[in-house]
Amino acid sequence: MSVESTNRPGDVQGPGTSFSRGIRPSRRTVLGLGSIAMAGLVGCTKATTPEELPTAAPPSTSIVKNLEIRFGTPAAPAILDPALASDNESFRVTRQIFESLISVDPDTGAPTPGLATEWKISKDGLTYTFTLRDGVSFHDGTEFNADAVVHNFERWANLPQDLGGKVGQAFESVFHHTEVQPAGDTGIAQDSQAATQSMLRSPNVLGGLKLTKDSGKDSAPKDKFETVTASYYDSCRAVDSHTFVLKLTKPITGLIDALTLPGFGIASPSALRKYKADEAKKDASGSLSTGFSRHPVGTGPYLFDEAEAESVTVVANEDYWRHSTQIGRATFAVLRDPSSRLQSLRRQKIAAYDMVTVGELRELVREGQQILQRDPFSILYLGMNQSNPLLADRKIRQAVAHAVNRQELIQKFFISGTKEARSFVPPSLGVPDGQTYFGYDVPKAKSLLKSSSYDGEPIPFTYPLNVTRAYLPMPERIYAEISAQLTAVGFNIKPYPIDWEDGYMDNVVNGRRPGFHLLGWNGGYRDPDNFIGTLFGTTSPEFGYDAPKVRAKIVKARSMPNGDPRATTYQQIGEQLAKDLPALPLAYPISAVAADDSVMHYPTSPTLDEPFDRVRLAT
């Protein structure tokens, strides 16, 4: 890839510099447990040219094709439109069907050519020019070209309000398109979808920022009624059939990494129109769906085949541009309980499953099953919603932090190698922890609670049922342990369990019952903004936390070039979060896949980028 600047946003720095490609963690393939030794899978091989993404094994005419695999998953996908999805089980399936402009090297995690073969970045970091891959077609026969890419970007930027603007969605999380800020304020983004929609309809355009004015009294200060979009997205266009240009209003240092997100999977424009992708319906359970999400069409190695109540099946794309695939048919079977996944593997009903928990780990090792761990790239936290008047008291939040024994949680409920979290950014991203740390200290917790405003009132604690996440492997047991630790220092805990598929995320993220809650974040790309910006870049009802100075620093860091000053800025943000305690970081969990001996290679990825064309089975 060529660039037009030498110190651009997102530029790769030398070895040892924060965020350099050299500090990307190596992929682990085998999990060690005490003195038990296990045989691992072979590693991936690197591509020989920059035009071709590395694969699990070099394409070979000798491989046996059209094999089938059943893979156990802990939950059903929410929706099979990557632009609308925000859950990893949806992305597990859409990664098979769709591809992004930029792919991920399975060995290093570095961005590599995908549907774009190369890209150039202007010196000011505001214009990205992509050369697109020739000879690629969508599954429905529609040609992949620059017009198709423009169609997708314009769709993402103009999703109806009831579909778009969700912080978990890729376009919003990267471009912050529905955020607004007061006119003249370049540092503080305020979350207001309604104001943004009004702003986007306004014909006024000043300096590339769309402007809206309130119709207040003429005598009022002018800037009292003005807001501007905080969006980083300016426009896009097709120069010719295979040249796509993306323009920003402000630099985004991690943009190339961010474009590897599965939410940027390019969809067939013909299918988007045919299946009315932006007309949403809710089913009996309240889940969102569209015609397109029931008929997803991309360019990826697999075509959507069918979706049933407890499974989704994809079949090989015989015209795939990259290489032929060994797996001809892959079925993702929903097995919510860890024991049901283990039993299905034992009975050979599935060849592999994700989200191994410590509960079945020793049995898997004893039986000689393969256990393939991922490098840690997620954060588990205990949310403390300050919309609850009790948790608005800083002393109470500090008492909570001292009451929770994170090491005990890790030893009991997480795979060996999981580390205690002292910030919201995984260590592999090179951001040093701050100085503030509230360690496990029961006497200190009791003292703080006694001197606070707390008088034994019940505090709600919301936790999920019937789910296993990369960051939360055993939610019921983790809740019970934390609840007991809080009760031991004097808290009165009122439990509120909610089934994951009955709207747990919606309840927590929208702060429907402010109090304590368990949640986390699995990183999608290698930049601190993917963690800090996603969780705390806007005011959120999840935390009831309003910190303009923190948001201003997040906005500043997002556009800073990689290097020590940027790392220091993120460290300062982390230090302020540690003092404010909107949530208590608990652990950087390690997740793992279990597989029987029919699986010769499975491409574990810290970001869960695991397309099945890289899987190899014994024949």
* Tens-place pLDDT, residues 597-607: 999 999 999 99
* Tens-place pLDDT, residues 105-131: 988 889 999 999 999 999 999 999 999
For residues 93-103, one letter each, b for 16 or more C-beta atoms within 10 angstroms of the residue's C-beta and e for the rest, the string is: bbbbbbbbbbb
What is the token pair recorded at 76? 């059903």
What is the token pair recorded at 232? 């980083």
The yes-or-no verdict on residue 135 having pLDDT over 70 is: yes
The yes-or-no verdict on residue 55 having pLDDT over 50 is: no
Q: 402: part of which helix (H) or strand (E)? A: helix 394-403
Residue 192 lies in a domain: no
The yes-or-no verdict on residue 49 having pLDDT over 60 is: no
Quick one: 346 and 455 in the same domain? no
Q: How many CA atoms lie within 13 A of 360 on its CB side?
A: 28
The yes-or-no verdict on residue 47 having pLDDT over 60 is: no
Whether the CB-CB separation of 601 and 311 falls below 8 Å is answered with no
Whether the CB-CB separation of 533 and 523 falls below 8 Å is answered with no
Please give the single-letter amino acid code of residue 226: E
- Strand, coil or helix: what is 612? helix
Whether the CB-CB separation of 465 and 498 falls below 8 Å is answered with yes
**Residue numbers of the domain that contains 423:** 378-589
Residue 40 lies in a domain: no
Residue 50 lies in a domain: no
- Strand, coil or helix: what is 73? strand
For residues 483-513, one letter each, b for 16 or more C-beta atoms within 10 angstroms of the residue's C-beta and e for the rest, the string is: bebbeebebebeebebebbeebbebbbebeb
**Angstrom distance (rounded) from CA 233 to CA 176:** 8
The yes-or-no verdict on residue 313 having pLDDT over 90 is: yes
Strand pairing category for 280-282 and 288-290: antiparallel
Quick one: 422 and 449 in the same domain? yes
Please give the single-letter amino acid code of residue 556: K
Quick one: 319 and 367 in the same domain? yes
Whether the CB-CB separation of 255 and 9 falls below 8 Å is answered with yes
Whether the CB-CB separation of 291 and 47 falls below 8 Å is answered with no
**Angstrom distance (rounded) from CA 73 to CA 405:** 30
What is the token pair recorded at 381? 């936290």
Tell me the average pLDDT across 252-256: 98
Residue 47 lies in a domain: no
| Residues ≥6 apart with Cβ < 8 Å to 468 | 74, 75, 336, 338, 355, 357, 474, 475
DSSP conformation class of 601: E
Which CATH number is 517's domain given? Answer: 3.10.105.10
Which CATH number is 356's domain given? Answer: 3.40.190.10
Residue 575 lies in a domain: yes
Ordered DSSP codes for 407-460: HHHHHHHS-TT-EE-SSSS-GGG-PPP-S------HHHHHHHHHHSS--S-EEE
Which residue shows structure tokens 């939040």? Answer: 397
The CA distances from residue 361 to 221, 475, 527, in Å, are: 64, 17, 31
**Angstrom distance (rounded) from CA 44 to CA 56:** 5
The CA distances from residue 552 to 190, 423, 556, in Å, are: 10, 19, 6
High-pLDDT (> 70) share of the chain, % = 80
Report pLDDT for 104. Answer: 93
Please give the single-letter amino acid code of residue 16: G
Report pLDDT for 324. Answer: 79
Quick one: 382 and 298 in the same domain? no
**Angstrom distance (rounded) from CA 50 to CA 387:** 50
Quick one: 529 and 553 in the same domain? yes
Quick one: 92 and 238 in the same domain? yes
Residue 180 lies in a domain: no
Quick one: 335 and 404 in the same domain? no
The yes-or-no verdict on residue 414 having pLDDT over 90 is: yes
* Tens-place pLDDT, residues 436-495: 999 999 999 999 999 999 999 999 999 999 999 999 999 999 999 999 999 999 999 999
Q: How many CB atoms lie within 10 A of CB 457?
A: 12
Whether the CB-CB separation of 55 and 42 falls below 8 Å is answered with no
Number of compact structural domains in the chain: 2
**Angstrom distance (rounded) from CA 58 to CA 412:** 40
Quick one: 103 and 149 in the same domain? yes
Q: 162: pLDDT confidence band, cut at 50, 70 and 90?
A: confident
* Tens-place pLDDT, residues 79-88: 999 999 989 9
Report pLDDT for 229. Answer: 73
Whether the CB-CB separation of 381 and 585 falls below 8 Å is answered with yes
Strand pairing category for 458-465 and 492-499: parallel
If one compares 65 and 204, the residue with the highest pLDDT of the two is 65
Quick one: 431 and 525 in the same domain? yes
High-pLDDT (> 90) share of the chain, % = 73
The yes-or-no verdict on residue 301 having pLDDT over 60 is: yes
Quick one: 565 and 464 in the same domain? yes
Q: 286: pLDDT confidence band, cut at 50, 70 and 90?
A: low
Residue 25 lies in a domain: no
Q: 261: part of which helix (H) or strand (E)? A: none
* Tens-place pLDDT, residues 357-404: 998 998 999 999 999 999 999 999 999 999 999 999 999 999 999 999
Q: Model pTM greater than 0.75?
A: yes
Please give the single-letter amino acid code of residue 177: H
Tell me the average pLDDT across 186-201: 38
Report pLDDT for 194. Answer: 36
Q: Quote the distance between the C-alpha of residue 205 and its chain's center.
A: 33
| Residues ≥6 apart with Cβ < 8 Å to 104 | 110, 111, 112, 260, 605, 607, 609
For every residue of 126-169, which 3-state class applies, written as one string? CEEEEEECCCCECCCCCECCHHHHHHHHHHHHCCCCCCCCCCCC
Quick one: 596 and 467 in the same domain? no
Instruction: Specify burial of residue 234 (Cβ count, 10 A radius: 0-12, 13-18, 19+).
Output: middle
Quick one: 515 and 548 in the same domain? yes
Report pLDDT for 226. Answer: 59
**Angstrom distance (rounded) from CA 119 to CA 102:** 10
What is the token pair recorded at 576? 């302020």
Q: 487: part of which helix (H) or strand (E)? A: helix 475-488
Report pLDDT for 606. Answer: 93
Indicate the angle between helix axes 358-366 and 338-346, nearest 10 degrees. Answer: 10
The CA distances from residue 309 to 71, 312, 544, 582, in Å, are: 15, 8, 36, 37
Q: Quote the distance between the C-alpha of residue 315 and its chain's center.
A: 26
Tell me the average pLDDT across 135-157: 97
- Strand, coil or helix: what is 216? coil
Residue 95 lies in a domain: yes
